[in-house]
Structures are given as structure tokens and as C-alpha cells.
Amino acid sequence: MARRILYAVGARPNFVKAAPLLEASRAHPEVDTLLVHTGQHYDDALSGALFRDLELRAPDVNLGVGSGSHAAQTAAVMCAFEPVVLGWRPDVVVVVGDVNSTLACALAAAKLGVAVAHVEAGLRSWDRSMPEEINRVLVDHLADLLFTPGRDADDNLLREGIAVERIHRVGNVMVDSLRRQLPRARGRCLLPGPPLPDGAYAVATVHRPSNVDDPAQLAEIFAALAALAEEMPVVFPVHPRTRGCAERSGLLPALGAARVVEPLGYHAMLALMERARLVVTDSGGVQEETTVLGVPCVTLRDTTERPVTVREGTSVLVPVRTRDNILRAAAEAVAPGRGTRVPELWDGRAAERILEVLARF
């Protein structure tokens, strides 16, 4: 009997994780798949271009929910997703990551009695002020199958009383995309304009509300990037949310000589990071990517749901994000002799392991 697997995605990090799952599904002729895009990220820079870079097939269904408050967006996805589940009747709904679409699709499926599988389960920052943390906890307790990236995630779930037979340690599916796409990314032209010196520039990405919504906090981050730009070229692909906050606060000139560019596609960003001396970010996915690439990373966060990137990888956490603290963390990150390694099971085969479980579920 065919297994019907519905993959639900909504935002840029989801797409990176879904691509290898859909590819791995092709090795299982007994599996039928439906790809549903909620439309949480809907502009071309955050959605369409990434689908093309990842060779991800066009969605079978696009719910087109767009933006909104957390409550409005979650509710809109649930209302639009429920008829799709009722109409297609999947055996399992697979959700990835921790965005609002992840929670909405998991909740709608669970209320309809459809099994839920959560890819990237068990991550915890222990910071309930992060909307993503709320999403992670709720989805994990709704899910019938929990696919974890590592031992820490397993332990988190067991402490919360989740039955061991529901937990499957498979590795990091984001790494599957990175390892598959990196050779193609290396052939991409990085940026228009003056060439960047290999291994002697920095890349910055900042988008989290805790960093960009408060003008005083954003000013400290921009001051640090301006100071870094006096030592080496700094490339700053600006997220639409960050640009809007910076323009309203009049902070863009505070970036000094930092090179401000539009958001980059997946390939361009991978190529840019691989050849960088340093990455400054508040993105969870970028923490993982820099760990695999072996590039020093300054993480502008109070806490991280990916502690392995600090303990074993290349990330240095900056809980108090003043200009001077960020610069000190940058110096620590690039210091010679820091021992780092790629964590266990981050080998590019996580999607294969997930499909082996799904195909027999």
C-alpha cells in the first residue's frame, strides 16, 4: 500500500530542510508525496529564488497566507491547511523547523487525527520569549515521530516525558542540502562590484526582533559592524525586516563602510560564507552552516537552541550585545587554536534515515 506523505513548508529555513526529504522520497516508490507551501515567506528573495537554488519542485499547493501577527498568521495557516489535509488524506504530515507554519500545520493535522512527524525535533533554547521556542515545544508534544539532529535533542525530549520509541536520532537534514549544493554554489559569482579577498572578509545577517526592533540594540550591532569594516570588508545582506527598522530609526548610515546588499540566494550565500574569515549572525541555520564549513561565527543571541555549535562547532555566543562585546567575541572566534569539529551524524544522510522510518510507519 502506498504511503501518502504531506510535506508542509512555509519559510526559508523550511525549504532548505525539505529539499533533501523530497529527494530521498524518490528512492521509495511506495511513497506518494504532496508539497504544501503555506506562503509565510512569499517574496522572491525569501521564497522563489531559494526553490530554484535548491532544485526544489514547485509546490503542489500554495496557501498564500502572507504575513501578519503570530496569532493571525498561525490561524490563517490552520484554516487554509485543514481542507488540504481533508482532501488529500495523508498518512503523515511532515513539518520542519520552528516557524509559525510548523506549529499551525502540526496542530491542524493532529486535530484531524493525522500522524505528525517533526524534523529537527528536540531543540531548546530555554528562552520562552522567543516565539520559535513556543513553537518547538508545542510541535514536539503533538508529534508522533520526532526526528532529532543529535544527542542533546534526544535528552531534552526524554526530560519532557516523551516516549523513547517516538524519538529517532537521524542527524541534521540542513547539512544534507549544504553538502549537496556546495559544489554548485562554489561556481557562483559572489557579488557585483569590487572582488572580495578570500578568507579576509566578514558576512553579517541580522533579523531577529530582539536585535532589530529596539533601535538602541540595533545601533550597538551596527556600531560593531562599522568597526569590523575598518579592519576588513564586511558584507551585510539586509533582511527586509531589518532594513525597515533601520530606515525608520535613521540607522543605516551607522554601518559606516559595511557593504549593504539585498538578500542573497542560497547558493550565493553559501559561497560567500565558505570563503569568509568571519560570520556575524542571529540565525540558527547559519550557526549550523558555519560549523559545517569551519568558518568562525559570532552568534548575536542570549541563548541558542543549537548548543552543539558552541560546544563543538565554530560559534561564539554574545548574550549582551554591546559594540565592545561583539568585537571581543569576533576576536575570540577567529583566534588560532580553537578546536572545532563537525557534530556526529552531520554527514549529509539525515534525509535517507528519515525516509526509512517514514516509509515503514
- Output the CA–CA distances (angstroms, integers) from residue 281 to 27, 80, 81, 145, 252, in the order listed: 36, 33, 32, 31, 17
The b-or-e profile of 179-218 (16+ CB within 10 A means b, else e) is: ebbbeebeebebbeeeebeeeebbbbbbbbeebbeeeeeb
For residue 267, give the nearest of 151, 152, 189, 207 by alpha carbon.
189
- Check: CB of residue 114 under 8 Å from CB of residue 143: no
Is-catalytic flag, 37? no
Exposure on the CB side of residue 125, measured as CA atoms within 13 A: 20
Coil, strand, or helix at residue 94?
strand
For 1, counting Cβ atoms within 10 Å of its Cβ (0-12 exposed, 13-18 middle, 19+ buried), the class is exposed
Q: Which of 28, 141, 168, 207 is catalytic?
A: 207
**Which uninterrupted H or E stretch holds 176?**
helix 173-185
> What single DSSP character describes residue 253?
G
Q: Which residues are catalytic?
A: 207
